[in-house]
Structures are given as structure tokens and as C-alpha cells.
């Protein structure tokens, strides 16, 4: 395949499907040849998945995980975007707060688990708190750098047309920073989806993370473990694709590299 040649329509689907098929085949024959009793083959995972769907537990778990991510991510966006815009707008303030933020940022949300339990006990709230933490920093950082990267020429044009500082923030700085803010939100959503699984392994008894750990603990059902993993992957992919479609909105599209 020539990298300059446009792939034909069928090739766009054929090659990825072939790769996926090969991977499944490697998985299947590895299980068969090693005669493992622990790790499931694709076929038993498929059966496990069907069983989960049949018993309706899967939909409830997916719903619970999505709800927690929605709450934590939503709260992180509600707090992080205005705070990030403010810090980007007042560089002096940012210099004061930035060292603390940079210090907190590399601490894995997982390390916060004990703290979350002390603060919030068990149940949804510590899980939502962990997701909030994990999503908060990428959003904040994207907003701060988004605002400080707004070309001075735009702010000057805003001032020239007689805008007040508040109007410059809403009519110039925010739309100019929006593509970068969207990138931050997308990264944050990805991280939140990673963290929800870990968060659900403690302190709650529902959700996809709980499904993974519970399937292992109650009878070493590795077919269900892997089935849950596949579902987690699929939903993560769907969330990312859904978010990416926002980048095609016309008023932000200029900020992303698209062919054409």
C-alpha cells in the first residue's frame, strides 16, 4: 500500500478488521495450545457477555459507571473551566497558585483512595470525588494555557472595538481558547473513564470496576473479567469518538488540524 495513495473504501474497514481478527485468533489459539484452565478463550468470554446481558446486571453496571463519571467529570468542568479562565486571565494570580497545582497534579488519583474514604465514607461519593480529582487537573491546565495562548492581537482588537474586560473575556478570550479547552475536556474524560474502574474496586458494589473485581473474587470468573474489560474498552472508545465529534463544530474547527 502506497502511503500517498488514498485507500479504497473497502480497505478502510478491511485492514483494521483483519488486524482485530488476527488478534482474536492469536488469543484463541494461545488459550487452546497452553490448555490454560484460568484464562478464558474468546468464545467463553462471548458466552459470559451474553450471560451478563441476559441477567440485566451489565446495563445497571454501565449506567452506574457512566453516572459516576458524569457527576465527577461534570463537577470538574464546572469548577475547572471558570477557575482555569480566571488563572489564565490573571497571570499574577496563576503564579501564586501554580506551584501548589503542579505539585498536586502528578499525584495519581489512586493514591487519594484512602483519603477519599476518610472524607466521604463508602458509596458513590468517594468514587465521584476521585473522578473529579482526575478530571479537574487536565481541564484546569488546558484552560490556563488556552487563555494565555490567545494571541495578543485578538485582545487588542477587542479593546479597540470598545469591549469591557468582561466582554473581552466572554467574546474574545473564551472563544479563542475554546479549541484548547475542548482538548483538555477530552483528555479529562479519558482519564475519568480510566479512574472510575479503579474507584469502583473500592467503596462501592456496582459499576464496571466492581464487576471486574467481583467476578474475580466470587469464583474466579475470568470470562466475566475479560468480558467487562471489553465493555470498558468499547465505552471508552465511544466516549472519545463522541467527544471528538465536537471538534467538528464550525466555530471551533479552526483550532484543530483537519485535512481539507
What is the nearest approach in angstroms of other proteins to the Cβ of residue 163?
Answer: 9
Q: Which residues of 102-132 are buried (b: 16+ CB within 10 A; e: fewer)?
A: eeeeeeebeebbeebbeebeeebbbbbbbbb
- The only residue of 110, 194, 230, 252 in contact with other proteins, by rule CB under 8 A: 252
Q: What is the largest CA-CA distance in the chain?
A: 76
Q: Which residues of 244-254 are buried (b: 16+ CB within 10 A; e: fewer)?
A: eeebeeeebee
- The only residue of 106, 218, 251, 257 in contact with other proteins, by rule CB under 8 A: 251
Contact 100, 140 (CB under 8 A): no
What is the nearest approach in angstroms of other proteins to the Cβ of residue 82?
Answer: 19
What is the nearest approach in angstroms of other proteins to the Cβ of residue 30?
Answer: 49
- The only residue of 12, 55, 105, 156 in contact with other proteins, by rule CB under 8 A: 156
Q: Give the residue with the Cβ less far from other proteins, 150 or 212.
A: 150
Q: Is 151 in the site for other proteins (CB under 8 A)?
A: yes
What is the nearest approach in angstroms of other proteins to the Cβ of residue 186?
Answer: 18
- The only residue of 55, 220, 248, 253 in contact with other proteins, by rule CB under 8 A: 253
Beta strands in 105-148 (DSSP E): none
Residue 158 neighbours by CB under 8 Å, 6+ apart: 167, 168, 171, 172
Q: Is 120 in the site for other proteins (CB under 8 A)?
A: no
Q: Is 51 in the site for other proteins (CB under 8 A)?
A: no
- The only residue of 154, 229, 236, 240 in contact with other proteins, by rule CB under 8 A: 154
Count CB-CB contacts under 10 A for residue 101: 16
Residues that bind other proteins (rule: CB under 8 A) add up to a total of 20
Q: Give the residue with the Cβ less far from other proteins, 168 or 198.
A: 168
Residues belonging to the chain: 260
SS3 235: helix
Q: Is 166 in the site for other proteins (CB under 8 A)?
A: no
Q: Give the residue with the Cβ less far from other proteins, 170 or 217.
A: 170
Of the candidates 233, 223, 199, 184, which has an alpha carbon nearest to the alpha carbon of residue 65? 199
Q: Is 162 in the site for other proteins (CB under 8 A)?
A: yes
Of the candidates 59, 26, 106, 12, which has an alpha carbon nearest to the alpha carbon of residue 231? 59
What is the nearest approach in angstroms of other proteins to the Cβ of residue 4?
Answer: 25
SS3 43: helix
What is the C-alpha to C-alpha distance for residues 21 and 28, in angstroms, rounded to an integer? 10
Enumerate binding residues for other proteins (CB under 8 A).
Answer: 151, 153-154, 156-157, 159-162, 171-172, 175-176, 178, 250-255
Amino acid at each position: 500500500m502506497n502511503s500517498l495513495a488514498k485507500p479504497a473504501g473497502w480497505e478502510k474497514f478491511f485492514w483494521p478488521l483483519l488486524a482485530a481478527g488476527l488478534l482474536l485468533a492469536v488469543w484463541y489459539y494461545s488459550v487452546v495450545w497452553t490448555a490454560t484452565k484460568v484464562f478464558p478463550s474468546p468464545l467463553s468470554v462471548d458466552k459470559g457477555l451474553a450471560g451478563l446481558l441476559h441477567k440485566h446486571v451489565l446495563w445497571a453496571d454501565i449506567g452506574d459507571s457512566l453516572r459516576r463519571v458524569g457527576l465527577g467529570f461534570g463537577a470538574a468542568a464546572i469548577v475547572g473551566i471558570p477557575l482555569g479562565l480566571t488563572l489564565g486571565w490573571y497571570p499574577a494570580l496563576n503564579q501564586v497558585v501554580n506551584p501548589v497545582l503542579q505539585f498536586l497534579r502528578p499525584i495519581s488519583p489512586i493514591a487519594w483512595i484512602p483519603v477519599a474514604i476518610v472524607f466521604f465514607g463508602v458509596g458513590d461519593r468517594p468514587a465521584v470525588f476521585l473522578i473529579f480529582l482526575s478530571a479537574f487537573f487536565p481541564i484546569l491546565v488546558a484552560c490556563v494555557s488556552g487563555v494565555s495562548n490567545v494571541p495578543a492581537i485578538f485582545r487588542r482588537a477587542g479593546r479597540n472595538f470598545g469591549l469591557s474586560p468582561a466582554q473581552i473575556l466572554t467574546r474574545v478570550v473564551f472563544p479563542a481558547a475554546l479549541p484548547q479547552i475542548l482538548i483538555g475536556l477530552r483528555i479529562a474524560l479519558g482519564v475519568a473513564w480510566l479512574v472510575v474502574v479503579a474507584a469502583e474496586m473500592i467503596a462501592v458494589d456496582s459499576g464496571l470496576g466492581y464487576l471486574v473485581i467481583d467476578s474475580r473474587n466470587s469464583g474466579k470468573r475470568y470470562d466475566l473479567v475479560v468480558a467487562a474489560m471489553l465493555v470498558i474498552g468499547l465505552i471508552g472508545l465511544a466516549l472519545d469518538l463522541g467527544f471528538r465529534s465536537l471538534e467538528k463544530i464550525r466555530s471551533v474547527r479552526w483550532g484543530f488540524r483537519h485535512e481539507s
